[in-house]
Structure 1
Amino acid sequence: MENDLWAFEHSLSSTGIPVLHKHDSHEFFLCREGTGFQYTEKGATPMQPGDFFFFPEGQLHISGVESGQTSYVLVANLKEAYLSSSSEADSEAGLALRLLRQQAMRWRNKVLLSEKGARDIGLIFSELVEEGRQRRPGYRCAQKIAMLQMLLTVLREGQFAGERQGLPRPRGAERIEEACRLLESNYMYPVSVSQLIRQLNISRSHFHALFSQVTGKSMLQYLNAIRVREALRILKEGDPSTAKIAAQCGFRSVSHFYYVLRMETGRSMRDLRSNAGLRSKISG
């Protein structure tokens, strides 16, 4: 088991013409400092700080930097046998691994993450490497937890281009579909996870994992998307005040509405009203 997962920090410097190679394990790669390229048979992908890459077992690749430059990266190698099919947590992590593999086989080795996901991956990857470096008592258990957290973050925060559609329907998916219907019909009211898990008769941890597996989002992300969708519909149909839109769509305040709206659309209420030819109205 010890040889099925290992992680380390590495410096990259120019060594001439890059020569592609492959591993008998999956490789995760995080750029910490400097710039460079990730090469595959398909070509080169630019790399900059914060970029997260995945290369499945057997795929030819190499990292490189321009002459005279040095980059610092974190690397983790994981063998398929490390994850147990009999463990529910490992099975869910295996789903993330499958999504990553499907994406990489289409030469999309750079993993696109939400802002939160990129931040979390950086922290978790650093912890994974540090545990391997210090080798304190229990470090293998700590590394296993960190790897599961990293794969869970990919599952929840990764931006996959349709790869989820070809995955088998997970057991218990009908409960999440019922949860989605409840959110669709009750988005205008305060909705909590406690209410849903009580109604669906499911544990909190299982609900969170299953919801992200089925929908690709957390429950809050899913609910916010519904609320913003409805807010945009209301805005398109008339010219109500921002406070009225926020209240009708279940936002606890105008400021909360502004925050979620920008997170979901990348635009402000002023921009949306301007494009719709509507005047700005905060209240009333």
Structure 2
Amino acid sequence: MFFAPVLMAAVILVAALVLLKESEVPERPAGGFDLAGAFSITGAMLLLVYGVVRLEHPGNGVVGTIGVFAAGLTLLAVFVLIERRTAHPLVRLGILRSHPLVRANLGAMLFLASFAGFQFVATLYLQEVRGWSSLQTGLAMLVIGIDTILAPTLTPRLVNRFGNVRVLFGGLVVAALGYALFLPIGMDWTYAAMLPTMLLLGVAFSLAYGPLTMAATEGIAESEHGLASGLLYTSIQFGTALGLSAVTAVSVAALGDAGTPEAMLDSLRLALVVPVAAAVAGAVITAFGIRRRAPGPAAPVPVQVSA
């Protein structure tokens, strides 16, 4: 599993060196590395996620947990101060005045948080509660990969027909529905009962992932597309970590000292509320971006990697 990406990355690297040529651009201004900004924002994200992880065990101490959250928020404030004063900021704060960009980043964070949380809970359910093997679990969730077929074929047509934001909103609604259908999991659930959720998540990724990358650069100057993309994928990674830590905290707190399969099932049901809530919140945020106007021609939707 870990070796295959090394080979793929090596092939892509060689192909890029041979095939990609840098376009002619105006002379770039001299820049620098904003190391202080990089360290402060990275530390802030790590501490905030760690604060959520500490909630798994209330015995760790409320004061310590509050201190971790406070330290994370303090570093976040420090990051903002650094970016406002440094000559070469890691993130030009003015870019955050773009409402589509902010909505896209919040939507991406919540969308990936919901999926990371669901994937973890579903894996625990299938392997720990039902006793399925790793291979059986992987095959059960394989159908989510239909996005690799739908994304490059169906999504561009939908975006051209209905507009980018409407398609993105539809993807988030479909994701929320898929997670909700998994809430009543039981000890004797058949795969046929789980299949609708897996199919809906594949459709959700097809509708949401590509349009998210488009929404993140909407109205952004071409010279700052790299920055906008960096913000988007930072939100994706942070959302993934946050969603995973959130469902873990809820399930561990709900399970307590109980160790029976029934108790674990109850704790996982409660943890599944987190993905549902995250997807619903993402849909609500995205809904504010919907405008009542006829959609114009849209840019091609980027082909995405399977969930």
Common topology (TM > 0.5): no
TM-score using structure 1 length: 0.25
Higher relative contact order (CA 8 A, sep 6+): 2
TM-score using structure 2 length: 0.24
Structure with higher helix content: 2
Structure number, greater radius of gyration: 1
Structure with higher strand content: 1
